[in-house]
Amino acid sequence: MTSNATPEGVRARVRELLAAHDPAALEPLDFLRARFDAGLAWVHFPEGLGGLGAPRALQAVVDAELAAAGAPDNDPRRIGIGLGMAAPTILRYGTEEQKHRFLRPLWTGEEVWCQLFSEPGAGSDLAGLRTRAVREDGGGDGGGDWIVDGQKVWTSSAHNARWAILIARTDPDVPKHQGITYFVCDMTDPGVEVRPLRQITGEAEFNEVFLTGVRIPDAHRLGAVGEGWRVAQTTLMNERVAIGGSALPREGGMIAPVAAAWRERPGLRTPELHDRLLTLWVEAEVARLGAERVRQQLAVGAPGPEGSGLKLAFARLNQQISGLEVELLGEEGLRYGDWTMVRPQTVDFYGRDAGYRYLRAKGNSIEGGTSEVLRNIVAERVLGLPAEPRIDKDVAWKDLPR
């Protein structure tokens, strides 16, 4: 660890970056590339990969200094899957060639990523996936392409993505968790078809993705053959922290517009709504402080199963708060701006009306792991309760009843 591991050390690096690359005189992308090369993209990453090998907590110092200088950001909401899920997985399991190929354009936002995990037939049982990857004859251990066939669903950003993280079954003769391999899939390759999946909001930020004879080089495999489930755990734990652990100010997030309506419009108030608002306000504050605690733990290590509790609380609170908001606003809360089918690049909870928040929050208990699955994780891996009986343990995937 160098002097870069101090607040003054990273401030000095920021000053050097700004002196050599004036953000007011450069295109945003050129500045972002220079920032990555200076090790100020994610300071906890290794040098040469956008970082300084410094404590993760120093990223806040860098971000504040650059924001004060008017530097452009990399639009993290648009590229959240790449930043929060693909990047930590590539860093941990990728080869040096993969890290240098993918991380820089991922961070600058030049290349958007999506996640090809969920499947129509697997439901919440992600390890039951049917998408197959078969190594072509003659591939051996030294290379060769994989041919992928199957279908994925609920894929955010697939319509904008250049790359995807993909898990596929490569050995049906072993128990379901053991026969999975993890790949990077080129979304522009022949055989990849993306179809919009219109949601209750009327929009289609999710997609179905059909994979027909898609050829993936072995050089785009992450981790060992058959160990994709272990690799996927890194992605999933980071995903749950990314969804449920956003940094918010006090009374930020979904509770903010409800509290504002309560203060600004006294005619809406009733004693019963007042009690419900107070209860949810306290719970939102507990969740916010819990997220802060998990981020502090993350600063000194990899995310653990505690992130599942965060994501669970995020989903439940969003649905309860958005429901209260609709009730509070009465007929006005039932209005909906525009049912035109669009394919947005981001989910905007806070710049939209109450009706959108209410409808969109329904998906929070499904995306990023269903609430039922997360309760099991919290029970077994956080609280140490006995595991549920499993009839599929030690049974080859091909022999499981369907």
Residues 141-171 as b or e (16 or more Cβ within 10 Å = b): eeeebbbbbbbbbbbbbbbbbebbbbbbbbb
Give CA–CA dist 278/132, Å, rounded. Answer: 50
The amino acid present at 314, given as its one-letter code, is F
Between CA 128 and CA 164 the distance in angstroms is 20
Query: For residues 317 and 279, what is the distance between their CA atoms, to the nearest angstrom?
Result: 11
Q: What are phi and psi of 145, to 5 degrees?
A: -90, 160
Block residue for tokens 């179905």: 208
The gap between the terminal CA atoms of the chain, to the nearest Å, is: 53
**Catalytic residue, candidates 119, 203, 239, 325:** 239
266, 312 contact by CB (below 8 A): no
Tokens found for residue 376? 């099991």
Radius of gyration of the chain measured on its C-alpha atoms: 22
User: Side chain identity at 352, as an amino acid letter?
Assistant: R
User: What residue type is 89 in one-letter code?
Assistant: T
Q: Which residue has the tokens 């006294």?
A: 266
Smallest Cα–Cα separation from 153: which of 176, 173, 124, 180?
A: 124
Q: Mark whether 367 is an active-site residue.
A: no
**Count of CB atoms within 10 A of residue 187's CB?**
23
Residues noted as catalytic: 239
